[in-house]
Amino acid sequence: MIEKQKEVGLKAVTDGEFRRRWWHLDFIAGLNGITVYDFETTAFGINTEAQGTYVSGKVSFDSNHPFLDHFRFTKEHVGEAVAKQTIPGPNMIFIDSFILSKQYNENPVYETKEAFVKDLIATYREVIQGFMLLVVVIYN
pLDDT tens digits for 44-81? 999 999 899 999 999 999 999 999 999 989 988 888 88
Q: Is 75 exposed, middle or buried (0-12, 13-18, 19+ CB in 10 A)?
A: buried
- The whole-chain average pLDDT of the chain stands at 91
pLDDT of residue 1: 84
- Structural domain boundaries enclosing 51: 2-139
Picking from 1, 25, 26, 30, the residue whose alpha carbon sits closest to that of residue 15 is 1
Count of domains forming the chain: 1
